[in-house]
Structure formats: structure tokens, C-alpha cells
């Protein structure tokens, strides 16, 4: 029987994502890819996968699924969550684990991720990855383009996600320590491409104001609430291409930071663009988060990108083996075998 994960509850907006679909934007195909590529990478490293393998991306409320493989290794990274490993679908309580670690699960076990805290996105990688054909070189789900990932859509109850491996490799489990996923004080941006559609006052206001992430945000863009930005000559431009991180300002003056699933082209002026080093943190921002922007230059942004890449390369060095004895002890406690409480109550 083909090893799979069987989705019991899909969560709010759960998709398969990798690094995205590069090279086809000229055909109208969105880039897509993980909102938070740092956590995608961390989850994959913990699971023993290539850094940008396709993983499950959960937003706000994660999925519940049953393991229908003899044995598998899964790993979580991203927002906080009280992840529960249940012995079966009928179990009420199970072992609790936190993100930033790998764990081995066995046939029949149910994994319940639940609500995310202090962040919008959580990634779950599985050793060996999902057995899914890439479309245009990527397994990212493009919901607008209805392609890639699992049937070009968000996961639904009873989906059977095919796995590439039937068994986990015999090895210890790991966690990642000391990876800072907190948002920057100010998100750095480069002005443009259409900053000339805004007055000096509007641009000063943009950098002086605090914005709140609105509930209408999604994988296409973070909608921000704050003081409206005045256009100096209209809010329609001849449609041009959109870069991920560009901040477009429609007629109402409330900015939208364009994220992974943004459409390839659009007709609103873009006041500034969040630099590549700060974009993954943008992808972690939950609804209600308060943020500010700061101006920087293209040269500064390139230096920040180099530093960001160094952080990514330091990830394997942050992996700490979870002592097998501690792991077993934790499982035994969970089973009430060495706690003494079990005997006392019996």
C-alpha cells in the first residue's frame, strides 16, 4: 500500500509549498512558494531533506492528519503551536511537542497541529518529501492558477497525500536552537518603482506611520491598516510587472505588501519594495501585527541579503541532537509508565 498522510481536518489554508516557480512569470504564472522560506528550510533540514523540498504550509490553523505509512519522520518550524501526537484517531490527548524539532511517528498515529500563536505560518516537512509531480519545476500550490502542489488547491478532508518513503531513516531526532524568527523593528524598503506617484509628505508619512496587518490578508498580499497615503497624480498606472515585496497603494490609500502568490502584473502604483532579507519575516506576520517601514538603498539591501544568506547557511550548525534517552523518557512519561501517578491511581 502506498504510504500516505490522510487529512482528517485540513486547517484554515493548508498547501504544499517549496521555494516557488521561477521563470514563467512572463506567461502570467505566479512565483508562489513558502511565505516564510527560512522556516521551510529549517523544517526540511530537521527532516533530513534538501533545504527547499516541498513541505506543508499551514496558516493560522494547522491540519490534523493520520499517518498511513509504517513509520515516518516529520519536523515542524515556524510559528508556535501546541502540536499533539495522538495514538489513534479516537485518542483525546496525546504527546505534546513544539515546533523546531523532528519527531518519529508510526502508522495509525494522528498529528493535530491546532491554532498557531505569535505567527501566521508553520511548516511541516516529512523525510523524503511528498510523492508529487512538479509542475513547471515546482511543487508549490498555485491556487489562483489551479496548478501544482496537491491538485492545485488547499488541502481538504480525506485527501491522501502520497509519501516518497515508507519508512524513516534510523537516526536520532534533532531540534534547532537559537534561530531568531522575531520581526525586525522596521521592515527595510527601497523606494519605488512608482514613488513618483506620491508626494514628499505621503512618503514621509509612510515611514513615520505604524501599520496593522488586516484580517483581509492572504498569500497574495498583506493588507495594512493605517493613515491613508495620498497619491499625487492618480492611482492608476499602465499595468506593469510586480516584484514580491512591492507595496502597492490602491485608490483608498491603504498599502498592500505583495507576497508570494501576488499576480504577475497590476495597475496600482507601488511606493516602495520590502528588501529580500526582510521578506521571510513579512511572511510570518499574523493578523493584528503592528509594523513600521524604514528606507534603505539597493546597495545596503544587497549587504543585508548577504547577511541573510549567512543566517540560512548557519542553520545546520544550530541543529542539536535530542538525547535519545531524554526522548524515550519523555515518551514514557507520556504513557504514564514511570510517573508513578498511574500506579497510585490504579
Partner 1 sequence: MLDYRVLPAGDTALVVEFGDRVDPRLSAVVLSLAQSLEDERIAGIIETIPTFRSLMVLYEPLVLPAALLIEQIDTQIQKLNSHEIISRVWHLPVCYDPRFAIDLQDVAQRTSLSVQQVVERHSACLYHVYMLGFLPGQAYMGEVASELALDRRPIPRTSIPAGSLAIAGRMSCVFPLETPCGWHIIGCCPVPLWDEVAATALLAPADKVRFVPVSIREYESVAARAAEGVLKIEPVSDFFEAVA
Of residues 3, 33, 63, 193, which one binds partner 1 by CB under 8 A?
Answer: 193
Question: Per CB under 8 A, does 240 bind partner 1?
Answer: yes
- Of 119-138, binders to partner 1 (CB under 8 A) are 135-136
Q: Assign 3-state DSSP to the chain and report helix, strand, coil percentages, each to 5.
A: 20, 30, 50
Contact characters 55-94, partner 1, x per CB under 8 A: ----------------------------------------
Interface with partner 1 includes 313 (CB under 8 A)?
no
243: contact with partner 1 by CB under 8 A: yes
* Residue 277, helix vs strand vs coil: helix
Q: Choose the binding region for partner 1 from 99-107, 162-170, 186-194, 326-334 (rule: CB under 8 A).
A: 186-194
**Minimum CB distance to partner 1 smaller for 160 or for 237:** 237
What is the distance between the alpha carbons of residues 74 and 325, in angstroms, rounded to a whole number? Answer: 19
> What residues contact residue 328 under an 8 Å CB cut-off, 6+ apart?
none
**Which residue(s) pair with 241 in the sheet?**
265
- Cβ proximity of 9 and 158 under 8 Å: no
* Complex with partner 1: residue 117 or 233, whichever CB lies closer: 233
Q: Binding to partner 1 by residue 302, rule CB under 8 A?
A: yes
Contact 34, 79 (CB under 8 A): no
One-letter-per-residue 3-state SS of 58-109: EECECCEEEEECCEEEEEEEEEEECEEEECCCCCCCCEEECCCEEEEEECCC
Of the ranges 79-87, 188-196, 224-232, 314-322, which one interacts with partner 1 (CB under 8 A)? 188-196
* Identity of the residue, 89 or 241, whose beta carbon is nearer to partner 1 in the bound complex: 241
Using rule CB under 8 A, residue 194 touches partner 1: yes
By rule CB under 8 A, what string of x and - marks binding of each residue 24-53 to partner 1?
A: xxxxxx------------------------
CB 49 within 8 A of CB 139: no
Q: Which of 106, 117, 146, 342 binds partner 1 (CB under 8 A)?
A: 146
Instruction: Specify the DSSP class assigned to residue 28.
Output: T
Give the DSSP H or E segment for 225: strand 221-225
Stretch that binds partner 1, among 44-52, 120-128, 175-183, 299-307 (CB under 8 A): 299-307
CA angle, 264 then 265 then 266, to 5°: 135
Q: Which three cell numbers stand for residue 332?
A: 514514557
Do 131 and 163 meet the contact criterion of CB atoms below 8 Å apart? yes
Q: Which is nearer to partner 1, 3 or 269 (CB)?
A: 269
Task: Of 307, 280, 341, 250, give the one whose Cα is nearest residue 77.
Answer: 280
Which CB sits closer to partner 1, 115 or 232? 232
Question: Residue 232 interacts with partner 1 (CB under 8 A)?
Answer: no
Would you give the DSSP letter of residue 195?
Answer: G
For position 151 contacting partner 1 by CB under 8 A, the verdict is no
Options 48, 63, 145, 255; binder of partner 1; rule CB under 8 A: 145
Q: Which of residues 262-291 bind partner 1 (CB under 8 A)?
A: 263-266, 270, 273-276
Residue in 2, 22, 88, 171 binding partner 1, rule: CB under 8 A: 22
Site residues for partner 1 per CB under 8 A: 22-29, 135-136, 144-147, 189-194, 237-241, 243-246, 263-266, 270, 273-276, 298-299, 301-302, 304-306, 309
Amino acid at each position: 500500500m502506498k504510504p500516505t498522510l490522510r487529512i482528517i481536518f485540513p486547517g484554515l489554508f493548508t498547501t504544499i509549498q517549496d521555494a516557488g516557480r521561477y521563470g514563467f512569470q512572463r506567461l502570467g504564472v505566479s512565483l508562489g512558494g513558502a511565505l516564510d522560506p527560512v522556516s521551510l528550510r529549517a523544517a526540511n533540514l530537521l527532516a533530513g531533506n534538501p533545504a527547499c523540498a516541498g513541505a506543508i504550509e499551514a496558516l493560522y490553523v494547522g491540519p490534523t492528519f493520520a499517518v498511513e505509512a509504517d513509520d515516518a519522520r516529520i519536523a515542524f518550524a515556524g510559528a508556535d503551536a501546541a502540536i499533539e501526537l495522538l495514538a489513534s484517531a479516537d485518542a483525546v490527548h496525546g504527546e505534546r511537542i513544539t515546533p523546531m524539532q523532528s519527531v518519529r511517528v508510526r502508522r495509525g498515529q494522528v498529528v493535530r497541529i491546532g491554532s498557531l500563536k505569535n505567527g501566521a505560518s508553520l511548516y511541516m516537512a516529512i523525510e523524503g518529501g511528498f510523492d508529487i509531480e512538479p509542475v513547471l519545476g515546482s511543487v508549490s500550490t498555485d491556487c489562483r492558477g489551479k496548478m501544482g502542489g496537491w491538485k492545485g488547491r488547499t488541502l481538504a478532508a480525506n485527501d491522501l497525500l502520497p509519501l516518497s518513503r515508507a519508512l524513516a531513516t534510523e537516526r536520532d531526532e534533532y531540534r534547532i536552537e537559537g534561530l531568531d524568527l522575531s520581526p525586525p523593528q522596521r521592515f527595510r524598503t527601497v523606494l519605488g518603482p512608482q514613488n513618483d506617484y506620491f508626494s514628499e509628505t505621503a512618503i514621509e508619512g509612510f515611514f513615520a506611520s505604524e501599520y496593522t496587518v488586516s484580517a483581509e490578508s492572504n498569500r497574495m498580499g498583506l493588507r495594512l491598516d493605517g493613515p491613508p497615503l495620498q497619491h499625487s497624480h492618480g492611482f492608476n498606472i499602465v499595468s506593469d510587472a510586480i516584484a514580491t515585496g512591492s507595496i502597492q497603494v490602491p485608490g483608498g490609500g491603504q498599502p498592500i505588501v505583495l507576497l508570494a502568490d501576488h499576480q504577475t502584473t497590476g495597475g496600482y502604483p507601488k511606493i516602495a519594495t520590502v528588501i529580500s532579507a526582510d521578506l521571510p519575516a513579512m511572511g510570518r506576520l499574523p493578523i493584528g501585527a503592528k509594523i513600521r517601514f524604514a528606507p534603505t538603498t539597493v546597495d545596503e539591501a544587497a549587504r543585508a541579503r548577504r547577511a541573510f544568506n549567512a543566517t540560512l547557511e548557519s542553520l545546520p550548525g544550530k541543529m542539536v541532537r535530542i538525547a535519545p534517552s531524554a526522548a524515550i523518557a519523555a515518551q514514557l512519561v507520556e504513557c504514564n509508565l514511570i510517573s508513578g501517578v498511574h500506579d497510585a491511581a490504579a
